[in-house]
Amino acid sequence: MSERLLAGVVTPIARQSYLGELTYERLKEIIVSGAFPPNEKLTVRSVAAALGVSTTPARDAINRLLSEGALINEGPKTVVLPSLTFEALDEITATRLALEGLAAERSVLAVAPADIAVLEQMQVAINAGLDAADYREVLKVNREFHFLIYRMSGWPRLVAMIESLWLRVGPSFNELYPDFATNRRGVANHLLAMQGLRAKDGAKVRSAMEQDIRDGYVRLKNMIRARR
Amino acid sequence: MSERLLAGVVTPIARQSYLGELTYERLKEIIVSGAFPPNEKLTVRSVAAALGVSTTPARDAINRLLSEGALINEGPKTVVLPSLTFEALDEITATRLALEGLAAERSVLAVAPADIAVLEQMQVAINAGLDAADYREVLKVNREFHFLIYRMSGWPRLVAMIESLWLRVGPSFNELYPDFATNRRGVANHLLAMQGLRAKDGAKVRSAMEQDIRDGYVRLKNMIRARR
DNA sequence: AATCCCATAATGATGCATCAAATATCAAAA
DNA sequence: TTTTGATATTTGATGCATCATTATGGGATT
């Protein structure tokens, strides 16, 4: 009976985090935050030692990031963080436009007033972060802003694919500072997106998010050009 | 000097396939071919025993398929092959339209006459398979037809994402027989795609492939409806 | 007949040893 | 100085034992 009583009321508790999961999350955080230089070798044992786990969880984490494309096999026993090339940036940007545009367009189907309120608060936090030049905070909230909208699509597999794309541009995005912390072009896009959500205008949300992606693309492209 | 001598003459030998890789490929084949019933439990040890390997490669293969979404965690220690629901089909179809449409549109940028000749031969094989009601052959060549076009996009990460989507509808597609083996609607789409490739008309290739996806969607939807 | 409880078996995660393969090192040769 | 080749070291893959957790089945209870 308790089953019926609880059905729909509670969700199953999140499965406990296993060491492999924690190692994966930690390693991902290190990679996305830009703390790990591109083209530097990663080994199972070095990761295991650095994170204080045995080889099995370390190997699991590396393999998982490998299958997501966040790391690549540069050789038979050589795993490195890929550096973003022009070609990769073009490909990933086009894919992002397709998938994030799709998710953005669908977001209006399930958006609630409470969601928009949260987005507004996030935008306040982004503006504050820009004022304080706290780029880490800006990036973090910006990411939450985007994914809150994408999750409104109600399509978790789509959101997961988008996440894997962000994982590939994330490391390079961190090199954009202080460009990102001082450039406020993204603010206008976010405001347009929120307007579209209020009006339940899917096309408008899509175009706003697409423009945000294109703005980021231009900056990343300039960065890559300067790097060479 | 031997470097210069051998340059361009020989290609590096393919790296040996590891057990984990072989196990993954084999398990994937079993799943895509529809030989494994949905909602049936998969365990590390059962896969290891069935394929004659130890638990490590079996676990690697299961985890990899899990991360691709080809298998899902139904519970803490319960891995099953997901059955395709209406919701999942809608989501995956929309994502396929976005990504395969993108790849199809770009295919004209790099298409060579030799590619079109190969596609024509594939279509001959598909027609022969339809005549012989050899659905397994039809499915196999149909898949090769699609991916040859997608690979022309020159975007390997995009192709990899499309592959993971096919992995999710593949098992159900096998239940479509003999519907698929007798229905020739896909032939017209393929012919249109080849026309578009010859004319280097990206929009035409895209619309042909999109129509092919939509036709498959309708049939899958009917199948799911009948299954319940 | 349906539900609950508990003992038992099964399972995934983890740690670790081993081995073949790849890399790094370095001295000898060109 | 550069290249080559032998040697030592490092590394990923694999197999397997162990352990805490979970699934399972059957009997007891309502």
pLDDT digits (tens, 9 = 90+) for A143-159: 999 999 999 999 999 99
pLDDT in tens, A158-167: 999 999 999 9
- pLDDT at site A48: 96
The helix/strand/coil state of A75 is: strand
> For the residues A73-92, what does the mean pLDDT come to?
94
What pLDDT does residue A151 have? 98
pLDDT, residue B6, reads 47
- Which of B19, B55, B67 to mutate to probe the A interface, most A CBs <10 Å? B67
The verdict on A68 touching B (C-beta cutoff 8 Å) is yes
Query: Residue A1 CB closer than 7 angstroms to strand C?
Result: yes
Q: How far is the CA of B35 from the C1' of D18 (A)?
A: 34
* Predicted pLDDT of residue B14: 53
- In the predicted model, residues of chain B with pLDDT beneath 70 are 1-17, 178, 180-181, 228
CA dist list (Å): A206 to A124, A183, A197, B92, B207: 22, 22, 10, 19, 21
Q: Which residues of chain A does B158 touch, with a Cβ-Cβ cutoff of 8 Å?
A: 91, 94-95
Length B79 CA → C4 C1' (Å):
26
Q: Pick the residue with more confidence: A183 or B58?
A: B58
pLDDT-based confidence at A17, cuts 50/70/90? low
Check B95 against A102: CB less than 8 A apart. Answer: yes
Q: Please give the residue of chain A at the shortest CA–CA distance from B61.
A: A63
E-assigned strand segments in chain A: 41-42, 72-75, 78-80
Nucleotide nearest to B55 (CA to C1'): D15
Q: Is the pLDDT of residue A7 over 50?
A: no
Q: Is the pLDDT of residue A180 over 80?
A: no
Residues of chain A with CATH 1.20.120.530: 86-227
What is the predicted pLDDT for the residue at B15? 53
Q: Please give the CATH superfamily to which domain A86-227 belongs.
A: GntR ligand-binding domain-like (1.20.120.530)
The whole-number Å distance from B4's CA to D1's C1' is: 20
Average pLDDT value for residue range A186-193: 95
Q: Does domain A19-80 have CATH number 3.90.79.10?
A: no
CA distance B124 to chain A (A): 32
Summarize the confidence of residues A191-205 as an average pLDDT: 98
C-alpha–C-alpha distance, residues B167 and A71, integer Å: 22
Q: What tens digit of pLDDT does each residue of A24-56 get?
A: 999 999 998 888 888 889 999 999 999 999 999
The model's pLDDT over B26-74, given as tens digits with 9 standing for 90+, comes to 999 999 888 888 888 999 999 999 999 999 999 999 999 999 999 999 9
CATH 1.10.10.10 positions along chain B are: 19-80
Helix or strand (DSSP H, E) at A180? helix A179-182
Q: At what angle do helices A156-173 and A19-32 cross, to 10 degrees?
A: 50
Which pLDDT value is given to residue B2? 41
Interhelix angle B156-173/A86-107, nearest 10 degrees: 50
